Amino acid sequence: MVTVREETRKGPWTEQEDLQLVCTVRLFGERRWDFIAKVSGLNRTGKSCRLRWVNYLHPGLKRGRMTPHEERLILELHARWGNRWSRIARRLPGRTDNEIKNYWRTHMRKKAQERKKNMSPSSSTSSLTYQSCHPETPSILGIDEQELHGGSSCITSILKGTPADMDGYLMDQIWMEIEAPGALSFHNGKDSAYSSPSGPLLPSPMWDHYCPDEHLKMDDEAKMAPQFGYSKGMGAIY
């Protein structure tokens, strides 16, 4: 027995660690993370390994900016489910709960700050709780699966639209709708950052380099495909 106990590593992962983890997961599958952590030779906890895999190394992950469509989807799903990030993430193929959570945080903070600037002190409801602030927005509250596909609000109809329909529909305008239901207009706005469904979908870096393996990818895709019409083209991963 080796009795030399090294400290469990924390902090950023190195490429070498990533490679070790990827190879170990390929060998043993995506479970028993404590076991994987041990046999991989990484001085990491199983938890840490799992997180690294799920959020960064997993094949099929999209990288890069959220597309306008994804932004709208997040908005809608968050309105339905609140901070159920993993649940929301399941509806966004290639995105992780962590990613969505971060995105939401960043944007909500931004919006909250803008609100503070723009609004008088009298109406001080936080945008973080818009769900309860604007119950009159039907698509936001209590919508179920069918409603999502047959609903009548602006957001819902946008969600139903094709990407072409969404061109020029700005995230800011969506936020405006939430904050002031009915006040939505579709003119092109000032913030060009949202105006094109750009978001270059970059591959997961490690996977790109080390594991051009077919069957791992298939496993994941197979899960997503029926629900989302997820296609290989989306991620340009392999």
| Contact footprint for DNA (CB under 7 A) | 9-13, 30-35, 44, 46-48, 50-52, 55-56, 63-65, 83-87, 97-99, 101-103, 105-107, 109-110
Burial of residue 204 (CB within 10 Å: 0-12, 13-18, 19+) is buried
- Min CB(157)–DNA separation in Å: 26
- Min CB(160)–DNA separation in Å: 25
Q: Which is nearer to DNA, 113 or 157 (CB)?
A: 113
d(CA 206, CA 212): 10
Q: Which amino acid is it at 168?
A: G
- Min CB(26)–DNA separation in Å: 16
Positive/negative CA dihedral, 211, 91, 160, 75: negative
Q: Which is nearer to DNA, 112 or 183 (CB)?
A: 112
Q: Which is nearer to DNA, 106 or 125 (CB)?
A: 106
- Min CB(152)–DNA separation in Å: 28
d(CA 97, CA 77): 12
d(CA 72, CA 228): 16
Q: What is the DSSP letter of 129?
A: G
Q: Which is nearer to DNA, 52 or 134 (CB)?
A: 52
